[in-house]
Amino acid sequence: MCIRKFVMAAMALAALSLAACATVPEQIQGTYSDISPARVDPSAFGSPVRWGGVIIDATNERDSTCFEVLSRDLDRYLRPLPEDRSAGRFLACKPGFHDPEVFARGREVTLTGHIRDVEVRQIDEFGYRYPVVDVDELVLWEPRQEVTVIERYYDPLWYPYWGWGYPYWGFYPYYRYPYPVYGHGHVHTYTPLPDPAETKPRR
């Protein structure tokens, strides 16, 4: 049991170390309006916002790129939460060329900017109202990767004994196992928080 507690404590310390490495990107720090993409009306035009979500599409125009984003709530590191709940879609337009192979569908972004207006676009037969944000800063997050940790510890009561029946293995008073009898363990899967991707738009 002592060995098990030691292993669990070591894993908890490692997890805390990984979490400590995650920081809020400097360019999106600050205080912003709490306006939700689902609650934008003309009175909100010009308001500073910090929104995040998952890219649905990216369209390069003459001198800018507009991203269609499915909004997500942000975690304490200002990264979009991996959940199905959403406050709707919005358009985020940023000057320069942003390669759609890099800013691809499914990538997570967090951005700051000002609400410009509301644009109506068709989703199948439905006219959807998209808030449009002129982007000041945009963070493209590295894809999430799950890490699996195998926790294996050895119980002294299960340790293979030698002598008194060698070459047989087992635990007292049985020595007729033709192979070692090991302890037991657990498999843990977690998702570390990666840093923002390094991206520089082409002007």
Residue 188 lies in a domain: no
Residue 65 lies in a domain: yes
Domain containing residue 44: 27-140
Which pLDDT score is estimated for 22? Answer: 61
Structural tokens at position 124: 């199948």
Question: What gap in Å lies between CA 31 and CA 42, rounded to an integer?
Answer: 21
Computed over its alpha carbons, how large is the radius of gyration of the chain? 26
Dihedral sign from CA coordinates of 88, 89, 94, 98? positive
- Per-residue confidence at 187, pLDDT binned at 50, 70, 90? low
pLDDT in tens, 99-132: 999 999 999 999 999 999 999 999 998 999 999 9
CA terminus-to-terminus distance, the chain:
61
**For residue 195, pLDDT beyond 90:** no
Residue 152 lies in a domain: no
C-alpha torsion 75→21→146→182, nearest 10: -130
Residue 51 lies in a domain: yes
pLDDT in tens, 62-92: 899 999 999 999 999 999 999 888 999 999 9
Q: How many folded domains does the chain comprise?
A: 1
CATH of the domain at 69: 2.40.50.140
Residue 55 lies in a domain: yes
